């Protein structure tokens, strides 16, 4: 039996033409993963469509000056690191062009490639999202950041 859903999230994975993904460093005041690197993401509001939430969160967290194209989406999925209380929807986009303008929720951004991804102290769940969407082979991910059934 699964636990009741505490909240729902839309998670955006933006990938550029060099196969790098956009990471945002979360503020120390963040409720989940303070000071860690994550994806642009956020809570789905009551009666809000996950896809609408994904775009809303992108505009809130990285500004309005970008062009992206959808590649794939997945969900709903239950988280594996927080006891299954979160329902997540994954949205994978190709970054075509733009400028990242951070809001107060984040302090830095980085485009991380497969070779330097492990240098970033990322939130639990990111490696799993990358694997689910088949963005990079497993060898580029942190085995200790994957749930046991995916190692």
CA-closest candidate to residue 88, choices 129, 59, 145, 124: 129
Q: Could you tell me the pTM of the whole model?
A: 0.93
Residue 79: band (very low, low, confident or very high) from pLDDT cuts 50, 70, 90: confident
Place of tokens 């969160």: 57
Give the mean pLDDT of 110-121: 97
- Flag whether 48 is in a domain: yes
Average pLDDT of the segment spanning 3-17: 88
137 located within any domain: yes
Q: Which domain holds residue 64?
A: 7-150
- DSSP-based helix, strand, coil % in the chain, nearest 5: 20, 35, 45
Task: Identify whether 80 is preceded by a cis peptide bond (ω within 30 of 0).
Answer: no
1 within domain boundaries: no
Say whether pLDDT at 2 is over 70. no
At residue 82, does pLDDT exceed 80? no
Indicate whether 2 belongs to any domain: no
Distance of alpha carbon 76 from alpha carbon 28, whole angstroms: 28
How does pLDDT run across 98-110, given as a tens digit for each residue?
999 999 999 999 9
The pLDDT of residue 102 is 97
Asked if residue 86 lies in contact with residue 6, where contact means CB atoms within 8 angstroms, the answer is: yes
Domains: count for the chain: 1
For residue 37, give the CATH number of its domain. Answer: 3.90.79.10
Rounded mean pLDDT, 54-82: 95
Nearest residue to 12 via CA among 126, 115, 104: 126
pLDDT given at position 4: 57
Taken in order 14, 17, 21, 25, the sign of the CA dihedral is negative
Query: Nearest Cα to 111, choosing from 103, 123, 99, 129?
Result: 99
């Amino acid at each position: 039996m699964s636990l009741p859903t505490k909240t729902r999230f839309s998670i955006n994975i933006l990938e550029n033409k060099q196969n790098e993904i956009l990471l945002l460093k979360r503020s120390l005041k963040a409720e989940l993963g303070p000071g860690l690197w994550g994806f642009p993401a956020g809570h789905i509001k009551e009666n809000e469509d996950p896809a609408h939430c994904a775009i809303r969160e992108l505009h809130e967290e990285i500004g309005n000056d970008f062009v992206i194209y959808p590649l794939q989406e997945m969900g709903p999925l239950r988280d594996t690191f927080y006891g299954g209380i979160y329902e997540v929807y994954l949205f994978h986009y190709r970054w075509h062009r733009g400028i990242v303008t951070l809001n107060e929720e984040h302090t830095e951004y980085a485009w991380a490639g497969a070779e330097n991804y492990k240098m970033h102290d990322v939130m639990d769940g990111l490696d799993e999202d990358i694997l689910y969407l088949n963005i990079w082979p497993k060898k580029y991910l942190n085995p200790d950041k994957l749930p046991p059934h995916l190692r």
